[in-house]
Amino acid sequence: LTGTSREQRAFQYLLTHAIPGDPHHILQTFDQWCYHCEHLSCVGPDKGRIVERLLLEQAPLRVLELGTYCGYGTVLLAQGLPPGARLYTIEGDPRHAAVAEKVIRLAGFSEQTVELIVGPSEEVIPRLREKHGLMNANLVFMDHWKRCYLRDLQLLESHQLLAEGATILADNVLFPGAPHFLQYAKTCGKYHCKVHRARLEY
């Protein structure tokens, strides 16, 4: 009725209630909106703790996120980066990317720390090295269309965009599920697999 999307309404709530330049408060305010107003398919605080723990343990210098959506996961990743690290995030939907760009900048992250790339992942991934300067990624966070997980992992492999010992963190592989991706990861012999049990967001 308002002519605005859920994502835009969530951003207006952030503008009103969140502290600019405070990533942690940005995420808390997002959570309040999702718990009490409208559901958004963000990572959420429960699974967010798994992401935070991995960032703390590994201190990756080059991170790639597939599926920016509203920027929740991007802010979560960016706030856990070590000094000098860079995050590349890809969003296929220009409307979501427009919201995410504002959320990322509201959280205080510059383009030097977080680069948002708009376009289909299958088109962006082959250009990451040449056009965006990503030689390889230490950590990849997949949170886009589940049917694209396997295709995009194999694209990253074929373009040699995974650093030695890189971690691939993929959300929702059991539900709604990415069975082909999961089977490949478990049987191809390239990866050690671990499934983190978590509740659905919100």
Q: Are 40 and 34 within 8 A, CB to CB? A: yes
Q: Which residues contact 29 (CB under 8 A, 6 or more apart)?
A: 13, 14, 17, 18
Query: Is 201 a residue of the active site?
Result: yes
Catalytic residue among 7, 31, 91, 201: 201
Domain ranges of the chain: 6-188
Q: Helices (DSSP H) in the chain: which residue ranges? A: 6-17, 23-36, 44-58, 72-79, 94-106, 121-124, 128-132, 149-158, 179-187
Instruction: Report the candidate in 2, 28, 23, 33 with the shortest Cα–Cα distance to residue 77.
Output: 23
Catalytic residue among 47, 101, 146, 152: 146
Residue 199: predicted pLDDT: 84
Residue 201: predicted pLDDT: 86
Average pLDDT of the chain, as a whole number: 96
Looking at residue 119, its amino acid is G
Query: Would the pLDDT of 2 be above 90?
Result: no
| C-alpha–C-alpha distance, residues 176 and 201, integer Å | 12
Query: Is 146 a residue of the active site?
Result: yes
Tokens of 200: 């659905």
Query: Is 91 a residue of the active site?
Result: no
**What band does 200 get if pLDDT is binned at 50, 70 and 90?**
confident
The 10 Å Cβ neighbour count of residue 113 is 14
Instruction: Report the candidate in 35, 39, 47 with the shortest Cα–Cα distance to residue 76.
Output: 47
Looking at residue 3, its amino acid is G
pLDDT above 90: percentage of residues in the chain = 95
Query: Is 115 a residue of the active site?
Result: no
Residue 3: predicted pLDDT: 83
Query: Is 31 a residue of the active site?
Result: no
Catalytic residue among 172, 186, 190, 194: 172
According to CATH, the topology of domain 6-188 is: Rossmann fold (3.40.50)
List Cα–Cα distances, 120 to 4, 88, 92, 150, in angstroms.
24, 14, 5, 15
What's the predicted TM-score (pTM) here?
A: 0.96
Q: What are the backbone dihedrals phi and psi of residue 93, each rounded to the nearest 5 degrees, phi first? A: -95, 115
Catalytic residue among 31, 101, 143, 152: 143
- pLDDT, tens digit, for every residue of 40-54? 999 999 999 999 999
Query: Would the pLDDT of 186 be above 70?
Result: yes
